[in-house]
């Protein structure tokens, strides 16, 4: 396998040297859209889309891939976190591209574009021009400018008004959050984290074209697109099908299990504190400090980054940043009397958050209810405990 992979790497490397002169495609050429299924990693959870140019008579079989970025970029981590990282169009050998998806056991399908030789040349020339060093970088946006939306953008810029897209073929339109959940289970740490980090702006209903940020929808929607009043794509052809494998998912690793355990722990420790007239200050510290940290992260994502999807995040209400300061106060044996009122205030914040969820102002992860219950129980106990003068 290593020898085989090394051979493909060598083949792929030759593609990056560029063509020595302008290439004219032959009648045997074809251009297609490659759609790849989701993977197990965070970066691959939503699948992938790319162009394939194949001209066997000239030994050309390459993929134009808009889904790459440079890890050596200065301040890479900070730029990535702030949404300021440029993505890049890469050109690579198709056999090597396909091999990587076979190794990850992700399905791959191909839609050949029904183009005349002139139309193929126009599209190929556009891709080649876009691959020039001064043109290949672009500002990435998860919903509106990614590897999948780039497919439509390139086609539209190449063929203009000749391209027609039927926006009425979908039986139902989903919100951006619902579209994410079609790929990422709610009861997963990635799904839970996404619902914490992304704001109410993704609870709007996506248009038919906006569904195309997901490669699977891009593939379906391109099948109803026409060029010069003729179907743009032919029926998709599977290039690799997923091998059956045993599922490694376990409920005992899921957030539902651990958050339920967390709720039971808070309930048990609070009951013991109530019965013994004591207060575990470390527990109160953690139950204010951690939500406060979450609140600071939400503020960072909302106001200090270019991410459009993290705006208007009402998780900021229950995860109130001022909790961080209060955490150090409740860690004392006896804090000021206003701590009791602040505990009631914190209960109110949770209640407001629940109403926001109930009235669909923002859709939270249903798993957050377990967190809210644990916090509410402890905040009420904290209010009660400050009425008792003999706590140890």
- In this predicted structure, what is the pLDDT of residue 13? 39
In a domain, 371, yes or no: yes
233 and 107 in a common domain: yes
Pick the last residue of a domain from 240, 259, 285.
240
Across residues 65-82, what is the average pLDDT? 77
Q: Residue 244: pLDDT band by 50, 70, 90 thresholds?
A: confident
Domain total of the chain: 2
How many other C-beta atoms are found inside a 10 Å radius of the C-beta of residue 352?
Answer: 13
Highest mean pLDDT among 142-156, 158-172, 241-255: 142-156
Q: What is the rounded average pLDDT for all residues in the chain?
A: 91
Across residues 97-112, what is the average pLDDT? 96
Task: Look at residue 262 and tell me whether its pLDDT is greater than 50.
Answer: yes
CATH number at residue 127: 3.90.1720
Q: Residue 129: pLDDT band by 50, 70, 90 thresholds?
A: very high
In a domain, 392, yes or no: no
326 and 271 in a common domain: yes
Segment 76-94, tens digit of pLDDT: 667 767 777 889 999 999 9
Segment 274-308, tens digit of pLDDT: 999 999 999 999 999 999 999 999 999 999 999 99
Segment 20-47, tens digit of pLDDT: 468 999 999 999 999 999 998 888 899 9
40 and 103 in a common domain: yes
122 and 235 in a common domain: yes
Q: Which range of residues forms the domain containing residue 127?
A: 11-170+208-240
In a domain, 177, yes or no: no
Across residues 202-211, what is the average pLDDT? 96
In a domain, 335, yes or no: yes
In a domain, 188, yes or no: no
276 and 360 in a common domain: yes
111 and 135 in a common domain: yes
Q: DSSP assignment of 219-278, as one string?
A: HHHHTTEEETTEESBPPPEEEE-PPP------GGGSHHHHHHHHHHHHHHHHHHHHHHT-
352 and 329 in a common domain: yes
Task: Look at residue 391 and tell me whether its pLDDT is greater than 60.
Answer: no
- What pTM value is reported for the model? 0.88
Segment 318-341, tens digit of pLDDT: 999 999 999 999 999 888 989 999
Enumerate long-range contacts of 43-46, CB under 8 Å, 24 or more apart.
44/104, 44/106, 45/183, 45/184, 45/190, 46/180, 46/183, 46/184, 46/214, 46/215
- In this predicted structure, what is the pLDDT of residue 76? 66
296 and 220 in a common domain: no
281 and 219 in a common domain: no
Task: Look at residue 141 and tell me whether its pLDDT is greater than 80.
Answer: yes
228 and 142 in a common domain: yes
Residue 192, SS3?
A: helix
């Amino acid at each position: 396998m290593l020898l085989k992979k090394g051979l493909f790497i060598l083949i792929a490397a030759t593609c990056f040297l560029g063509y020595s002169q302008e290439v004219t495609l032959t009648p045997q050429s074809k251009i297609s859209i490659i759609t790849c299924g989701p993977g197990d990693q965070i970066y691959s959870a939503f699948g992938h889309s790319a162009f394939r140019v194949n001209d066997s008579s000239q030994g050309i079989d390459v993929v134009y891939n808009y889904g790459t970025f440079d890890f050596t970029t200065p301040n890479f981590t900070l730029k990535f976190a702030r949404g300021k990282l440029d993505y890049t169009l890469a050109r690579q050998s198709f056999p090597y591209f396909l091999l990587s998806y076979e190794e990850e056991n992700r399905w791959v399908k191909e839609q050949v574009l029904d183009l005349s030789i002139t139309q193929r040349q126009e599209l190929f020339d556009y891709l080649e021009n876009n691959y020039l060093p001064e043109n290949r970088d672009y500002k990435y946006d998860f919903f509106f400018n990614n590897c999948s939306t780039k497919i439509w953008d390139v086609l539209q810029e190449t063929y203009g008004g000749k391209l027609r897209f039927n926006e009425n073929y979908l039986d139902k339109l989903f919100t951006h959050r619902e579209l994410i959940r079609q790929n990422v289970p709610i009861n997963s740490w990635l799904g839970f984290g996404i619902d914490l980090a992304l704001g109410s702006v993704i609870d709007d209903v996506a248009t038919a074209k906006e569904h195309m940020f997901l490669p699977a929808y891009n593939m379906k929607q391109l099948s109803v697109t026409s060029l010069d009043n003729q179907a743009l794509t032919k029926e998709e052809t599977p290039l690799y099908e997923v091998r059956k494998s045993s599922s490694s998912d376990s409920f005992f690793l899921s957030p539902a299990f651990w958050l339920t355990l967390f709720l039971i722990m808070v309930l048990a420790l609070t009951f013991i504190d109530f019965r013994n007239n004591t207060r575990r200050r470390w527990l109160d510290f953690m139950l204010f400090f951690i939500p406060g940290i979450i609140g600071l992260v939400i503020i960072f994502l909302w106001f200090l980054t270019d991410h459009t999807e993290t705006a208007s995040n009402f998780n900021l209400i229950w995860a109130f940043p001022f909790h961080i300061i209060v955490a150090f106060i409740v860690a004392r044996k006896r804090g000021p009397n206003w701590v009791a009122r602040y505990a009631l205030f914190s209960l109110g914040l949770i209640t407001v958050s629940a109403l926001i969820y109930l009235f669909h102002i923002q859709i939270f992860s249903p798993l957050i209810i377990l967190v809210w219950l644990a916090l509410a129980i402890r905040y009420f106990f904290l209010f009660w405990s400050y009425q008792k003068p003999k706590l140890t």
